[in-house]
Amino acid sequence: MKIAIGSDHRGYLAKEKLKALLSELGYDVEDFGTDSPKSFDYPDVAAPVAKAVADNRVERAILLCGTGLGVSISANKICGVRAALCHDELTAQMSRQHNDANVLCLPADLIGEALMRRIVEVWLETAFEGGRHARRVMKIMEIEKQNLCRGNGGERPNPAGDPPGSDSKK
Ligand code: RB5
């Protein structure tokens, strides 16, 4: 599975550690920066990472900033992206099972390395449950189509063409 990763300056150190973990776990990682602890605005990395997911160039993505809020708000502006800000293993698991989240956002200032590693592992290993949740994810896509996506690629709100729940990306 190919995974994009990106962070602002506050997430930089954690991103470097997660990159090593992902490689260890056998994932193919594409790093979108930032590449130092120097101040870097989170929308400037969240947008290209989210677009890589929306365009199906990577299967999933992980974004980090201090709180995880800036990157999640930014990433969710891109059609086809369901970015979930997770603080623990349970929200990570539920974001996959119920919401088919394709971007994981992490609060680098708020949680430690060990928890972050566990969240990432759970999030990558958990499949979407489909069923009634697929109907709800379809409704999210409908909201995008009606409100967000006109003229900015919204013609392809589900760029992979997969029905929600088909875990063909694994
Ligand atoms: C940067 O100072 C900080 O605002 C950012 O990392 C993030 O927490 C924003 O949501």
65 included as an active-site residue? yes
**Which atom of ligand 1 approaches the CA of 73 most closely?**
10
pLDDT at residue 157 above 90?
Answer: no
How wide is the angle at C-alpha 93 spanned by C-alphas 89 and 98, nearest 5°? 150
Q: What is the mean pLDDT of residues 131-141?
A: 96
Q: How confident is the model at residue 160, as a pLDDT?
A: 43
SS3 50: helix
pLDDT at residue 161 above 90?
Answer: no
Confidence of residue 148 (pLDDT cuts 50, 70, 90): confident
How wide is the angle at C-alpha 76 spanned by C-alphas 154 and 10, nearest 5°? 145
- Report the separation in Å between the CA atom of 77 and the middle of ligand 1, taken as the mean of its atom positions: 17
pLDDT at residue 154 above 70?
Answer: no
98 included as an active-site residue? yes
Q: How confident is the model at residue 41, as a pLDDT?
A: 98
What CATH code would you report for 2-147?
3.40.1400.10
Q: How confident is the model at residue 170, as a pLDDT?
A: 34
SS3 64: strand
Which residue of the set 65, 79, 86, 105 is catalytic?
65
pLDDT at residue 143 above 50?
Answer: yes
SS3 16: helix
Strand order across the 2-7 sheet? 28-31, 2-7, 60-65, 103-107, 83-85
Q: How confident is the model at residue 57, as a pLDDT?
A: 98
Per-residue pLDDT tens digits for 58-99: 999 999 999 999 999 999 999 999 999 999 999 999 999 999
Q: Give the start-to-end residue ranges of the domains of the chain.
A: 2-147
Per-residue pLDDT tens digits for 12-31: 999 999 999 999 999 999 99
Confidence of residue 110 (pLDDT cuts 50, 70, 90): very high
Q: Which is nearest to 5 in space by CA: 43, 53, 62, 46? A: 62
Q: How confident is the model at residue 66, as a pLDDT?
A: 98
Q: Which of 38, 69, 110 to mutate to test the pocket of ligand 1 (most atoms within 8 A of CB)?
A: 69
Instruction: Return the structure tokens found at 141.
Output: 């896509």
